């Protein structure tokens, strides 16, 4: 037993000795290597100080490299989500991220495809932009040389206009206004119904005696002719103007009642002189002071003291060019063509002429000898162009439907 232990201890000792020998050999070998390196460096002209400096620089570069790597790691950590301390939480986050990625995968792919299409479109448009930039950077001399070409290209698509030509457009004046009215009047009150000669062919016993007065329209347009009749009592208001014949009959002897009317002609026509000739374009104003007509009593206008009116619509006359003249659009510059026209006739349907007279009754019971003065009637004519929508009173051809002549 002792012998075996002794061999065991001897074996351990031998091992230790062998290790020391190997270590010594290694140290010697290392020293020899160092010496070899030093000798080699000396031969190459590199000093130990330069080697040390390079070694030191390398260490500084190594520190910079480590610092750079550390900065990159910190940047990545800032861009990444916060680190979860436990492994369980990290697995849960990774799982959530995986689920989001699966749900939005299609959307991300679609967006990627749209971005690729947009990028492709942008790339296709870039040549135009580059070309535009190139044109913008042309020198002034190059731009001047290319101008004729650009103008020529614009002229191909540009509408060409001629110089303005002035056209004289005259308005031919054909508005002839010619309304003929009487120049004299004869009216009398005859309360005692005495025979009164009115003209060569007529003797009247009416209580209101008057001639018939005509109006004709020789104008080129239809006219409304209004006759204003202003009645005045010249006996300080002793005469009373009433509304009807019945009012006269019912008046007492002390009332000087008068029913005074203006009676228009009916639609049977108007004649001049002895009643054999229709009024026409040659009828004069003097002739219109005594015409023949039949009165339309239903259209009579009752005259009161003051202003009263009766109106007529007279149709336009007929004109034509005088002596075969004509208007030539190429040469006629005189816009007033009235002098080239001549009157040929009044309105052919007889509506170019009108007439009226005075009529009425007086209170025969009153003593009219006590009335020393009569009455005064003032006549004023006015006319205007007709509108065309006027209504004519029944039983007449020209009297307007108004002023109490509604019948």
Average pLDDT, the chain: 78
What is the per-residue DSSP string for 256-313?
A: EEEEEEEEEB-TT--EETTTTEE--TT--TTGGGSEE--B-GGG-EEE-SEEEEEEEE
Task: Give pLDDT, residue 10.
Answer: 54
Buried b (16+ CB within 10 A) or exposed e, 200-228: eeeebebbbbbbbbbbbbbbbebbbbbbe
Answer yes or no: are the C-beta atoms of 182 and 262 closer than 8 Å: no
Q: List all residues 6 or more positions away from 279 whose beta carbon is below 8 Å from its beta carbon.
A: 214, 216, 270, 271, 272, 287, 288, 291, 346, 353
More confident residue, 218 or 339: 218
Round to whole Å and give the CA distance between 257 and 243. Answer: 10
Number of Cβ atoms within 10 Å of the Cβ of 404: 14
Rounded to an integer, what is the distance from CA 389 to the centroid of its chain? 31
Task: Give pLDDT, residue 59.
Answer: 55
Task: Give pLDDT, residue 406.
Answer: 43
Confidence of residue 397 (pLDDT cuts 50, 70, 90): very high
More confident residue, 269 or 19: 269
More confident residue, 388 or 75: 388
Number of H helices, E strands in the chain: 6, 18
Round to whole Å and give the CA distance between 352 and 290. Answer: 17
Q: Can you give the residue ranges of every domain in the chain?
A: 1-52, 179-385
Confidence of residue 204 (pLDDT cuts 50, 70, 90): very high
Task: Give pLDDT, residue 36.
Answer: 80
Task: Give pLDDT, residue 8.
Answer: 46
Beta bridge partners of 342: 320
Task: State pLDDT tens for residues 90-140.
Answer: 444 344 444 445 555 555 555 555 556 555 555 555 444 444 444 454 455
38, pLDDT greater than 80: no
Task: Give pLDDT, residue 22.
Answer: 81
Task: Give pLDDT, residue 86.
Answer: 42
Assign 321 to helix, strand or coil: strand
Distances (CA, A) of 259 to 13, 60, 203: 180, 143, 21
Task: Give pLDDT, residue 217.
Answer: 98
Round to whole Å and give the CA distance between 207 and 258. Answer: 10
225, pLDDT greater than 60: yes
Confidence of residue 5 (pLDDT cuts 50, 70, 90): very low
Torsions phi, psi for 400 (to 5 deg):
-75, 150
More confident residue, 11 or 204: 204
Helix (H) or strand (E) holding 359: strand 353-362
Task: State pLDDT tens for residues 238-266.
Answer: 999 999 999 999 999 999 999 999 999 99
Task: State pLDDT tens for residues 340-377.
Answer: 889 999 999 999 999 999 999 999 999 999 998 999 99
Rounded to an integer, what is the distance from CA 307 to the centroid of its chain? 48
Task: State pLDDT tens for residues 42-98.
Answer: 666 555 454 444 545 455 555 666 666 556 555 555 555 444 344 444 444 344 444
Task: Give pLDDT, residue 19.
Answer: 76
What pTM does this model have?
Answer: 0.59
Round to whole Å and give the CA distance between 172 and 333. Answer: 9
Q: List all residues 6 or more positions away from 47 whose beta carbon is below 8 Å from its beta carbon.
A: 41
Task: State pLDDT tens for residues 264-314.
Answer: 999 999 999 767 899 999 999 999 999 999 999 999 999 999 999 999 999
């Amino acid at each position: 037993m002792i012998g075996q232990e002794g061999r065991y201890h001897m074996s351990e000792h031998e091992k230790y000795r062998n290790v020391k020998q190997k270590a010594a050999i290694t140290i010697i070998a290392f020293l020899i290597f160092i010496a070899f390196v030093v000798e080699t460096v000396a031969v190459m002209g590199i000093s130990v100080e330069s080697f040390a400096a390079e070694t030191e620089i390398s260490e500084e570069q190594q520190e910079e490299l480590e610092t750079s790597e550390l900065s990159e790691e910190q940047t990545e950590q800032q861009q990444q989500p916060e680190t979860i301390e436990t492994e369980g939480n990290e697995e849960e986050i990774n799982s959530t991220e995986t689920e989001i990625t699966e749900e939005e995968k299609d959307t991300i792919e679609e967006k990627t495809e749209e971005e690729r299409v947009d990028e492709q479109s942008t790339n296709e448009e870039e040549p135009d932009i580059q070309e535009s930039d190139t044109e913008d950077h042309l020198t002034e001399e190059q731009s001047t040389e290319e101008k004729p070409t650009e103008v020529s290209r614009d002229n191909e698509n540009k509408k060409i206009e001629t110089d303005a030509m002035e056209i004289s457009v005259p308005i031919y004046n054909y508005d002839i206004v010619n309304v003929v009215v009487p120049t004299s009047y004869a009216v009398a009150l005859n309360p005692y119904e005495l025979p009164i000669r009115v003209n060569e062919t007529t003797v009247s016993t009416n209580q209101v005696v008057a001639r018939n007065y005509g109006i004709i329209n020789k104008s080129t347009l239809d006219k409304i002719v209004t006759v204003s009749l202003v009645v005045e009592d010249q006996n300080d208001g002793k005469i009373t103007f009433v509304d009807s014949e019945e009012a006269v009959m019912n008046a007492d002897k002390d009332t000087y009642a008068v029913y005074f009317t203006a009676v228009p002609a009916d639609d049977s026509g108007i004649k001049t002189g002895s009643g054999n000739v229709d009024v026409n374009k040659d009828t004069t104003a003097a002739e219109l002071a005594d015409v023949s007509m039949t009165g339309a009593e239903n259209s009579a206008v009752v005259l009161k003291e003051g202003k009263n009116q009766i109106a007529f619509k007279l149709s336009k006359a007929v004109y034509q060019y005088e002596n075969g003249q004509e208007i030539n659009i190429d040469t006629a510059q005189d816009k007033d063509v009235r002098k080239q026209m001549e009157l040929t006739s009044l309105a052919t349907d007889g509506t170019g002429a009108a007439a009226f007279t005075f009529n009425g009754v007086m209170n025969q019971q009153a003593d009219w000898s006590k009335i020393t003065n009569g009455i005064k009637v003032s006549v004023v004519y006015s006319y205007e162009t007709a509108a065309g929508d006027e209504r004519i009173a029944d039983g007449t051809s020209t009297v307007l439907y108004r002023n109490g002549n509604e019948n």
